[in-house]
Amino acid sequence: MGKPTGFIEYLRETPLDRSPTERVRDWKEFHHHLDEKSLRNQAARCMDCGVPFCHTGKLMSGGASGCPVNNLIPEWNDLVYRGLWREALERLHKTNNFPEFTGRVCPAPCEGSCVLGINAPPVTIKNIENTIIERGFEEGWVNAEPPKTRTGKKVAVVGSGPAGLAAAQQLNRAGHSVTVLERADRPGGLLMYGIPNMKLDKQHVVMRRIKLLEEEGIKFVCNANVGDNYEAEMMRRDFDAIVLCTGATAPRDLPIEGRNLVGVHFAMDYLTEATRSVLGKGPAAAKIHAKGLDVVVIGGGDTGTDCVGSAMRQGCRTLTQFEIMSKPPLERAEDNPWPEWPRLYKMDYGQEEAAAKFGRDPRAYLTTVKKFVGDAEGRVKELVTVDVSWDLNERGQRVPVEVPGTERTQPAQLVLLAMGFTGPDIGLPNDLGVALDERQNVKAGYGEYSTSVPGVFAAGDCRRGQSLVVWAINEGRGAARECDRWLMGKTDLS
């Protein structure tokens, strides 16, 4: 695919970002775009590799390898190289309902498993994907496509994150009448409130797609917290089938001394409040605000980075990010071979912004927090950290062990806990009587998605645990397929 010698002729090139010192002044998306000639050259780098791994979508060593929605990457790379943008969009939409989301927020495991990436920089798959869909919108090729006929079946999708939206669109395409129930005040779930606006614009990108789904006939009901202000039994009575896409919203806590002090917050509470203020009365109106404060983010990953980027935009005084794991290497370690996801050190956008202002990467590795210390008014004022090493316990498991004599005190008036999620809110599953697995996720086998209650299906993070947006889309599509099969006895959904 692409140009046979393209990977030799052209170097990897990605669009420049707005400078860190400029972009922290607003909440707008910070990526620039390449011109068409440069993009076609980048698509030309896609090798005729014979056995492409980029679209395999496998789990290897606990991480994604290749594209979980099995995007036909070599095919649309070749079409872009030849200037056939509309045909490229058609191939992209065959597997991915929302490439404008994944093209912005996916960590691109496809690039980690690109065959060219064995000994050279991989193809810029993520950027090409995003450009294809944005060109489609600009040219008017992306339009609402309501089904020609209706089946008379009604389906409730609980949750409007990426899994819920994918399930809803697929079920609607099958002709069912779909209602999406969202407990927040706006649709989008994680896409709306879990990812900051500068990474995924809410009005231009998220609501653009929501409006298209509404034009296709999908009904969105917000402020509908099933089990609270919307009875689960009423949902069972009013719909022929239910798809649970509630996400993994139970955050992992840090139950140490001082945890209840004012100023210690879960990351998602902070990010939600920041986005709600940006969309409402303005960034300064956020109830949890970092302006003029010493901010500490505990935990890494995308959520930790998003906390860093948000605190920078709110004007924090200082920023430190603690990670209990060791600093990743600059090159693949021997136990992390291609085509596994490359666990490498990198500066993400938030760390770049902090480094530009404070002169250093804000992350401190192999560090854990022992306690929070408050002032006379019950507000956090500092915390105590200690270095750790990873040693083997009596069972042969690697566990963190405190290093004696390494305790330090760090000023902090705002602490954000970004240590991941333990699973879904189990209130609704209990109300519906569906079984949970040993991790307290909704029990529903991958590929089948059916729960212990007939007619109730589950997909996304509430089924598999905290994962990627692209896995959520994969599961939403799969759950829709099996729900359609259960309703109609057969299915044409892929």
Assess if residue 149 is contained within a domain: no
* 170 and 29 in a common domain: no
**Rounded to whole angstroms, what are the CA distances from 53 to 40, 57, 271, 435?**
21, 8, 35, 36
* pLDDT at residue 62 in the model: 86
CA 479 – CA 458 distance, rounded (Å): 7
Q: How confident is the model at residue 1 (pLDDT cuts 50, 70, 90)?
A: low
CA 443 – CA 451 distance, rounded (Å): 6
Q: How confident is the model at residue 63 (pLDDT cuts 50, 70, 90)?
A: confident
* pLDDT at residue 78 in the model: 96
Across the strands, what pairs with 205?
A: none
* 376 and 449 in a common domain: no
* 213 and 356 in a common domain: no
φ, ψ at 409 (rounded to 5°) = -110, 135
- Domain of residue 329 covers 253-419
* 92 and 46 in a common domain: yes
* 407 and 375 in a common domain: yes
* 213 and 99 in a common domain: no
* pLDDT at residue 335 in the model: 93
Assess if residue 278 is contained within a domain: yes
Amino acid occupying residue 338 = W
* 368 and 262 in a common domain: yes
Confidence (pTM) = 0.96
Assess if residue 144 is contained within a domain: no
**Which domain-ending residue is among 419, 434, 457?**
419
* 387 and 291 in a common domain: yes
φ, ψ at 101 (rounded to 5°) = -85, -55
Total residues found in the chain within this entry: 494
**Domain CATH code at residue 109:** 1.10.1060.10
Asked whether the predicted pLDDT for residue 19 surpasses 70, the reply is yes
Assess if residue 493 is contained within a domain: no
Whether residue 350 contacts residue 20, with contact meaning beta carbons closer than 8 Å, is answered with no
Asked whether the predicted pLDDT for residue 2 surpasses 80, the reply is no
Determine the average pLDDT of the residues in 236-261.
Answer: 97
Assess if residue 190 is contained within a domain: yes
Residues of the chain with pLDDT > 90, as a percent, come to 95
CA 430 – CA 228 distance, rounded (Å): 13
Instruction: Retrieve residue 277's tokens.
Output: 């203020």
* 183 and 258 in a common domain: no
Taking phi over 0 as left and psi of -120 to 50 as alpha, with beta for the rest, 75 belongs to: alpha
Which of residues 230 and 90 earns the better pLDDT score? Answer: 90
Asked whether the predicted pLDDT for residue 296 surpasses 70, the reply is yes
Asked whether the predicted pLDDT for residue 227 surpasses 90, the reply is no
Whether residue 413 contacts residue 380, with contact meaning beta carbons closer than 8 Å, is answered with yes
CA 289 – CA 279 distance, rounded (Å): 15
**Rounded to whole angstroms, what are the CA distances from 461 to 191, 242, 430, 446?**
13, 16, 17, 12
Asked whether the predicted pLDDT for residue 48 surpasses 90, the reply is no
Determine the average pLDDT of the residues in 191-209.
Answer: 97
Which of residues 227 and 46 earns the better pLDDT score? Answer: 46
Number of domains in the chain: 3
Per-residue pLDDT of 319-351, as tens digits, reads 999 999 999 999 999 999 999 999 999 999 999
Assess if residue 407 is contained within a domain: yes
* pLDDT at residue 28 in the model: 97
Asked whether the predicted pLDDT for residue 450 surpasses 70, the reply is yes
Query: What's the whole-number average pLDDT of the chain?
Result: 96
* 371 and 262 in a common domain: yes
* 405 and 275 in a common domain: yes
**Which domain-ending residue is among 112, 139, 166?**
139
Asked whether the predicted pLDDT for residue 447 surpasses 90, the reply is yes
Whether residue 207 contacts residue 220, with contact meaning beta carbons closer than 8 Å, is answered with no
Asked whether the predicted pLDDT for residue 276 surpasses 70, the reply is yes
Assess if residue 233 is contained within a domain: yes
* 268 and 240 in a common domain: no
Whether residue 258 contacts residue 373, with contact meaning beta carbons closer than 8 Å, is answered with yes
* pLDDT at residue 490 in the model: 97
Determine the average pLDDT of the residues in 97-119.
Answer: 96
Per-residue pLDDT of 364-417, as tens digits, reads 999 999 999 999 999 999 999 999 999 999 989 999 999 999 999 999 999 999
Give DSSP secondary structure letters for 436-453: B-TTSSB---TTT-B-SS
Question: If DSSP codes are grouped into helix, strand and coil, which group holds residue 94?
Answer: coil
* pLDDT at residue 411 in the model: 98
Assess if residue 146 is contained within a domain: no
**Domain CATH code at residue 407:** 3.50.50.60
Per-residue pLDDT of 173-188, as tens digits, reads 999 999 999 999 999 9
Asked whether the predicted pLDDT for residue 457 surpasses 90, the reply is yes
**Which domain-ending residue is among 374, 404, 419?**
419
Q: Measure CA 142 to chain center.
A: 23
